[in-house]
Amino acid sequence: MAGFPLFQNYKAFKDLHNFWLPLDKFENLFNKGYLNFQLPTDHLDLNNVYFEKSTSIMSWKNQFVARDRIDTWSNRAYPETVKEYTKILDDYLTLCEKNNARPIIFLPTMTQGYIKYFNKQKLNEFYYLVNEAQRKHPTAVFFDGWKLNFPDKYFRDTDHMNVYGAAKFSEILNGVIEQLESEQK
């Protein structure tokens, strides 16, 4: 695959036990779909119908309805997937090191309701795995968006930012990147 060297170098998706699409079909879909998809590069028009859903604001009703979904989702156990993703993360971090790139691992912000009902054991496992990755790859930086405490007006549902939340989160993440760049000078 000329367009995406990860497939050539690591074959990241080839042997995954839960990958639902054969590698050749995924490569074709990725090359023809994702790589050719163009987001508008002109001024972000928040009145554009494309952004209608992403500009919606979460209601309190949505937050309470979602509790069961959060409980159900965060209590699932996929130990083989965790092993696979941990290996893929290690491969990415190694690739960054080899190319003198400083990777940033980040956890995007969520609503306080989502954080409140998310399985704490799973969250602690995630933090443990990130700490292990940072220990092995000391150049890696972790940015925890769950500590940002964004108001509900920045979300379209309990676990997806709307376009305003994404813009705010991007602004904060850009500040982290600028700070890291200034430290390297």
- The string of pLDDT tens digits covering residues 79-113 is 888 888 899 999 999 999 999 989 999 999 998 88
8 Å CB contact between 137 and 103? yes
Q: Does residue 24 or residue 180 have the better pLDDT?
A: 180
**What burial class does residue 171 get, using C-beta atoms within 10 Å of its C-beta: 0-12 exposed, 13-18 middle, 19+ buried?**
exposed
Q: Does residue 25 or residue 98 have the better pLDDT?
A: 98
Q: Which helix (H) or strand (E) holds 107?
A: strand 104-107
pLDDT of residue 102: 92
In tens, the pLDDT along 45-57 reads 554 544 445 555 5
Q: Is 150 left (phi over 0), alpha (psi -120 to 50) or beta?
A: beta
Rounded to an integer, what distance in angstroms lies between the CA atom of residue 17 and that of residue 182?
42
Strands 104-107 and 155-157: unpaired
How far apart, in Å, are the Cα atoms of 113 and each of 77, 116, 174?
Answer: 21, 5, 26
DSSP annotation of 49 reads G
Question: Closest by alpha carbon to 170, among 149, 145, 146, 153?
Answer: 145
Widest CA span in the chain: 49
8 Å CB contact between 146 and 107? yes
Q: Taking the complete model, does pTM exceed 0.75, yes or no?
A: no
pLDDT of residue 3: 40
